[in-house]
Structure 1
Amino acid sequence: MNALTLLDLAGVAVFAATGALAASRRQLDMIGFLFFAVVTGIGGGTLRDLILGQAPVFWVRDPSYILTCAAIAVVVYFTAHLVESRYRWLLWLDAVGLAAYGVMGAAKGLAATGSATIAIVTGMLTATFGGVARDTLAGEPSVLMRPEIYVTAAMAGAAVFTALGLSGAPVWLSAGCGFTTALAVRGGALIFGWRIPGYRPRPGRSEAELKREGVLRDDSGSDER
């Protein structure tokens, strides 16, 4: 098993676990656990394959991915009550899945197109879509809406993998560095609250200012006819 295959399986398994944890927070039944685990586990990879035109998608070609998600769902169903802070676990497992899937998505994009831009975009989409689908289904605020860095971490990992891959570095080194970069950036965001400054709307200009700048005409003194 090479480094990319290992990261692919790890990404599916870890994201499936976050989906099952989200189901536990909603106190769903076993079917709910299975549904959340499968959708979260294969969501990003499915979007990636559809964008790249790779049909059938990966879990249709190899059903072991579905079985992995199902197994994770069953394990979490019987053990979630042992975890004191399930949301904290969810965030950290999501960070690991983000790092793994970001590299795998970039690898698939690079292999399919040879384009660094496409590789980084597919890495970002693969890493984030499953988590977005999970949060949407659970009725929780999306991880994308949280203030700390998320998408940027996936793009950073994908960019490092792509740069090393195009430079001729071994796959295991490129994958390891990409994974570590994404996990470090996302982990730093979780621990230290790293964030990119958000947009702050400026107050609109008053009518007097607009007239002073000549944007509006002052017709108060004109004669009415």
Structure 2
Amino acid sequence: MVDWFHWLNLAGVAVCAISGTLMAYQKRMDGFGVIVLASATAIGGGTLRDMMLDVPVFWIADNDYLYTTLIAAFIPIIWLRLSPRFPYHYLLIADAFGLALFNVVGIEKALANDTGIAVAIAMGTITGVFGGLLRDVICREVPLVLGGELYATTCIVGGMAYGLAMYLGFEAQWCGAVALATTVLMRLGALRWHWEMPVFYNEN
């Protein structure tokens, strides 16, 4: 179970690193900008989570995450050299799975450090969305997580599903599976049917 989660977490890091690289491409950044943006997107959320939990930062304790980030950052660079089109639609689907996985990883890491379920849900949400928020702030864009689109909300609902499954006596791996499925389905539903939160604005 631990190895399975480790590899899936690496996959989530890779997807987020690709997302950061594509944003750097759109903003016409140089090589250093690509690395900064890919790294911020891929490991930013987990870094903040570990600092708040006062535990060793995951990519310092295990360099596999850093290597994965750097390798994944070159995937879209090579792809765009060979083809002018990149399958953004599939990346959004993969990003939904990465978001859900980071959410579950954050929840379980928080619970493993003896937090309550409310704090665990917050840690899961931070793990899932903070990297993307940091990416958008660096690029001077309105962060996706703040723009009304269902993103952070999917992590919160997924975390609540985890807590409910735990309350009902499910084993940890099944709690994680429930949270993963809930987050993924909500995020894919938001992409397909454009579900949004009400946006605060002045109509005048």
Please indicate the TM-score interval, normalised by the length of the shorter structure. Answer: 0.7 to 0.9
Q: Using the alignment, how far apart are the partners of 1:75 and 1:197 within structure 2? A: 36
Aligned in 2, Cα 1:152/1:171: closer, same or farther, shift over 3 Å?
same
Structure 1: runs of 5 or more not aligned: 204-225
Q: TM-score, normalised by structure 2?
A: 0.87
Please tell me whether Structure 1 or Structure 2 has the larger radius of gyration of its CA atoms: 1
Aligned in 2, Cα 1:83/1:103: closer, same or farther, shift over 3 Å?
farther
Q: TM-score, normalised by structure 1?
A: 0.79
The answer to whether the aligner puts 1:57 opposite 2:57 as a matched pair is yes
Determine what percentage of the aligned residue pairs are the same residue. Answer: 34
Q: Report the equivalent of 1:70.
A: 70
Aligned in 2, Cα 1:161/1:25: closer, same or farther, shift over 3 Å?
same
Q: Considering only aligned residues, what root-mean-square deviation do their CA atoms show, in Å?
A: 2.4
Q: Deviations over 1:75-134 (max 9, x none)?
A: 221114537366545543432221111111111111112411111111111111000011
Q: Report the equivalent of 2:16.
A: 15
Aligned in 2, Cα 1:126/1:90: closer, same or farther, shift over 3 Å?
same
Q: Using the alignment, how far apart are the partners of 1:127 and 1:140 within structure 2? A: 18
**Aligned ranges 1:129-208 → 2 under 5 Å:** 129-199=130-200
The answer to whether the aligner puts 1:125 opposite 2:136 as a matched pair is no
* Moved segments of 4+, more than 4 Å: 85-90, 199-203
Alpha-carbon shift at residue 16 of structure 1 (Å): 1.1
Structure 2: runs of 5 or more not aligned: none
Whether the aligned pair in 2 keeps the contact of 1:102 and 1:154 (CA below 8 Å) is: yes
Aligned in 2, Cα 1:45/1:83: closer, same or farther, shift over 3 Å?
farther
Q: Report the equivalent of 1:104.
A: 105
Q: Report the equivalent of 2:39.
A: 38
Aligned in 2, Cα 1:60/1:163: closer, same or farther, shift over 3 Å?
same
